[in-house]
Structure 1
Amino acid sequence: MTDDAARTHRQGPATLRGLALPKTTTDQRLLDNRGPADWVHADPWRVLRIQAEFVEGFGLLAEIPQAVSVFGSARTKPGTAEYDLAVDIGARLHEAGYAVITGGGPGIMEAANKGADEAGGLSVGLGIELPFEQRLNDHIDIGLEFRYFFVRKTMFVKYSQAFIVLPGGFGTLDELFEAVTLVQTRKITRFPIVLVGTAFWGGLLDWIKDVMLTSGKIAEADLDLLHLTDDPDEAVRHVVEAHQKEAARRLAEEEAAVEATAEGAGTGG
């Protein structure tokens, strides 16, 4: 056996050499009950916690109806125009046949959940563990608290058929550009993304057009990924119409595939 082979240790799918060589085997560490309990906080055990969050989320949300996520600032106060706008949008989404998903917290999230809840719709809140106290709001039918942002983001994308984004801060921007990136790169099926608030979002869209587009960082067609409006009715209507167009496109593709199969069978006969 060569020196290199003698200094190589296989640990499942991992290959360890040199300073990374373990001093004990996996079985020894498993069966030895001595020493500190720090191992329960190590990254391999975090994987199980992450897995558990995915399983819990998938299990709880698997049967919710078609849904739209509404994003916006947690700092928006009740009684403000933006708060009332989110309440209106939540109610209109229910009337259009959608469940409403939010981050589950206060502000815009609470308002959208409230609108759906008071209109008789299904209201979902996907909360996140934060250093400061932020409980799920009182207008949620299904609520989940996540430890990991990326697990929570997966739930938003997996169970939403559209995003409606009201004015917000860094968290709102993160959620917005996560969605835009996934749609632009075709990692997910294209779905509508609506920005509500021309005064708030207009400058950002101008910068995207004047700087990103003109410098060749995005394509002209990428501008169509975002729809800007101040009208709650238009926001919801844009979502509905986009889904109707997508349904019609898929039906046309299916009919074309059936026709092509029939023609092929006829030619073969």
Structure 2
Amino acid sequence: MASAEEFEQGDAPREQRLGPVVRRHGQVQHSTTDQRLLDTAGPSDWLHQDPWRVMRIQSEFVEGFGTLTEVGPAISVFGSARTPQGSPEYEAGVRIGRALVEAGFAVITGGGPGAMEAANKGAREAGGTSVGLGIELPFEQGMNQYVDIGVNFRYFFVRKTMFVKYASGFVVLPGGMGTMDELFEAITLVQTRKVTRFPIVLFGTDYWRGLVDWLRATVVPSGKISPHDMELFHLTDDVDEAIALVTKETSGKGAPGDGFRAEDPD
């Protein structure tokens, strides 16, 4: 790197080292980090630039870790925010939330209405810990009234980390894009062995059957996934079976995917 004596004041150095970052040629900045920190004048655009976003991301991880680390054994329950109150799907969510608490687990949801509210309601009514992990959206949903511990996130990927890190498994009720996003991320994490001992239960055979059949009939034969990957989740309509399956591996039984077979077509 050129020394200070090699160029006159106002000239840009040919190479600039800013911590772990090296800038050269047209990417050399004309001010230092300390200068920008101490300079009170100028625009506030830096608040919205990527380096500052890293600090916001870090703060969300710290807040999430600090809040959830004492929750204890938990299961994440997913499902549509559009599930109407009083519907069979809503009532199934209430029963699942209640049964999870009775089995000794906290319930973690996305904190919103619909199926999420149902699971939180069941957990709350059973006297257990009811957790909601919200997300900042253009259309505000807000935390449902049955959440005892709530954390709101700016970033989806931070929130998704919390769902996996502090849960021992997933119960997935009928849902839309967000629910399927969480489902396939969980399956991928188990498939690639990024997580272990992580059962995944799809609740609602009529709803999920088409997706499961497509995976088996199209994706497996084309070689995009292996037949064994169909064993990474289980399909059921029975609340007791769902609870037994999703809590099974938390007692140390089996290995990832053991006994978690999607049902064969009728």
TM-score by length of 2: 0.89
Residue 266 of structure 1 is matched in structure 2 by: none
- 1:127-178 Cα shifts (integer Å, max 9, x gaps): 0010012110010111100011011001001000010000000000000011
Which of 105, 115, 119 is the aligned partner of 1:112? 119
Residue 149 of structure 2 is matched in structure 1 by: 142
Which of 46, 55, 58 is the aligned partner of 2:62? 55
1:17-96 pair list within 5 angstroms: 17-96=24-103
Distance 1:34 1:240, change over 3 A: closer
Shift of 1:188: 1.2
Select between 235-244 and 92-101 the one with higher mean Cα deviation: 235-244
Residue 192 of structure 1 is matched in structure 2 by: 199
CA distance in 2 between partners of 1:40 and 1:185 (Å):
37
> For the aligned residues, what is the CA RMSD?
1.7
One-letter amino acid matched to 1:177: F
Shift of 1:225: 0.4
CA distance in 2 between partners of 1:248 and 1:79 (Å):
37
- 1:14-45 Cα shifts (integer Å, max 9, x gaps): 11112211011222212222211111221111
Is the counterpart of residue 8 in structure 1 residue 1 in structure 2? no
Shift of 1:248: 7.0
Residue pair 2:168, 2:247 contacting (<8 A) in 1 also:
no
Residue pair 2:124, 2:130 contacting (<8 A) in 1 also:
yes
Residue 175 of structure 1 is matched in structure 2 by: 182
- 1:22-69 Cα shifts (integer Å, max 9, x gaps): 011222212222211111221111111111111111111111111000
One-letter amino acid matched to 2:55: L
Select between 22-31 and 113-122 the one with higher mean Cα deviation: 22-31
Structure 1 or 2: more helix by fraction: 1
Q: Secondary structure at the match of 1:134?
A: coil
- Identity value in percent: 64
Query: After the TM superposition, which parts of structure 1 deviate over 3 Å for at least 4 consecutive aligned residues?
Result: none
Which of 219, 227, 233 is the aligned partner of 1:226? 233
CA distance in 2 between partners of 1:190 and 1:174 (Å):
20
Residue 152 of structure 1 is matched in structure 2 by: 159
Shift of 1:247: 4.4
Residue 133 of structure 1 is matched in structure 2 by: 140
- 1:68-122 Cα shifts (integer Å, max 9, x gaps): 0000000001010000000000001111111100000000000000001001111
Shift of 1:241: 2.6
CA distance in 2 between partners of 1:139 and 1:48 (Å):
31
CA distance in 2 between partners of 1:196 and 1:248 (Å):
22
Select between 62-71 and 35-44 the one with higher mean Cα deviation: 35-44
Q: Secondary structure at the match of 1:74?
A: coil
Distance 1:79 1:224, change over 3 A: same
Residue 253 of structure 1 is matched in structure 2 by: none
CA distance in 1 between partners of 2:88 and 2:75 (Å):
21
Shift of 1:190: 3.1
TM-score by length of 1: 0.88
Residue 103 of structure 1 is matched in structure 2 by: 110
CA distance in 1 between partners of 2:41 and 2:123 (Å):
54
Q: Secondary structure at the match of 1:100?
A: strand
Task: For structure 1, list consecutive stretches of 5 or more residues without a partner in the other structure.
Answer: 250-269
Q: Secondary structure at the match of 2:72?
A: coil
CA distance in 2 between partners of 1:186 and 1:48 (Å):
29
